[in-house]
Amino acid sequence: MITRRKRDEPLLEDSKEFAHQRALMVDRHVASRGITDARVLAAMREVPRHLFVPAVVASKAHGPSALPIGFRQTISQPYIVARMIELLDLTGSEKVLEIGTGTGYQAVVLSRLAAKVFSIERVNELALRAVEIVRALRIHNVSVKVFDGTYGWSDQAPFDRIIVAAAAPEVPEPLVQQLARNGRMIIPIGPEGNQRLARVSRVGTRTQIEDCGTAEFVPLVGRFGWKE
């Protein structure tokens, strides 16, 4: 079984074996846990997750768990990526803002399901690595910038969808402001050990919040997040 990327292997190395492992990952850890959106399942079968995971944990790239990516951060487990994206209800035409690029994996899955993805990461090294993979995969509808994502990306607002991959103390006000009419945002809220996934919908001038179950994310650190 080929599970480890060797240092001298080209970045784009993919194979039938990896495709097979992804199919198993989607069946066992995503579809069997209740994700039914066929577009989300197809995107996760296609995006080469092993390229985004650091070499030391590459053997676990297609497993059920979150994995360390350095800088005390993690790449979310496949089920959570699928669940958050499913809750976004993407049709293919949306402009999406992601906060917390991390490895870039979720941004690339999103890039197959939406028109444009703008992703913000606060750790420079993670953003650089993510951009390198996005370029190597020749993906042209993902833009990454290094910034405090709790401010959003005002030049590009409004966004049809916003997805936050780190947990905030409360919904950051700038993100609500940058949500389009009829837009939706998925964001984990709460302190470590006690987080809930929230779906914020903008209906005209009102916002509505729905509870979507428990969550376990790293903290969203920033001006409208947790303080360092």
Binding-site ranges for ligand SAH (CB under 6 A):
73-76, 99-100, 102-103, 105-106, 120-123, 126, 148-150, 165-166, 218, 220-222, 225
CB closer to ligand SAH out of 8 and 228: 228
Instruction: Encode the chain in three state secondary structure.
Output: CCCCCCCCCCCCCCCHHHHHHHHHHHHHHHHHHCCCCHHHHHHHHHCCHHHCCCHHHHHHCCCCCCEEEECCEEECCHHHHHHHHHHHCCCCCCEEEEECCCCCHHHHHHHCCCCEEEEEECCHHHHHHHHHHHHHCCCCCEEEEECCHHHCCHHHCCEEEEEECCEECCCCHHHHHCEEEEEEEEEEECCCCCEEEEEEEEECCEEEEEEEEEECCCECECCCCECC
Cβ proximity to ligand SAH, 174 vs 204, nearer residue: 174
Residues marked as catalytic: 76
Whose Cβ is closer to ligand SAH: residue 146's or residue 212's? 146
